[in-house]
Amino acid sequence: MQSVRKNSGRAELAVLALIALALALFMFAGPASAGADTTFDTALTKFTDFLEGSGGKIITVLSLAGGIVALASGRFSMGQIAIPVGVGVGAGTGIPIVTSTVTATI
């Protein structure tokens, strides 16, 4: 019976230590501002420019070529037409939509 009391006392002590740690972290936490971090702005700009420019065109042309090869093989499906169109629309208009949504102030 005594060992059960010792173990429950240790568990209570561990719980109290975790609560104290959580309170300390909460008390000393600084304010956070959404969108204030500019760590990856350079990479985001380069990647966005690539997809909106020649990179997006290359991806669209490769997708279209894949659809044409599949059509030439004799099997037809709407996906062979819809996927290249979707890739082209996504590369052309999807990037600005996503970028403006992410950078919007909430």
This prediction's pTM:
0.49
Range of the domain at 12: 1-32
CA distance 36 to 61: 37
Q: 92 and 74: one domain?
A: yes
pLDDT tens figures, 27-37: 777 665 656 67
Q: 27 and 63: one domain?
A: no
Q: 73 and 95: one domain?
A: yes
User: For the chain, what is the domain count?
Assistant: 2
Q: 60 and 90: one domain?
A: yes
pLDDT tens figures, 36-94: 677 778 888 888 888 878 888 888 888 888 888 887 887 777 877 788 888 878 777 77
Query: Which residue type does 36 have?
Result: A
Does residue 75 contact residue 95 with C-beta atoms inside 8 Å? no
CA distance 99 to 65: 28
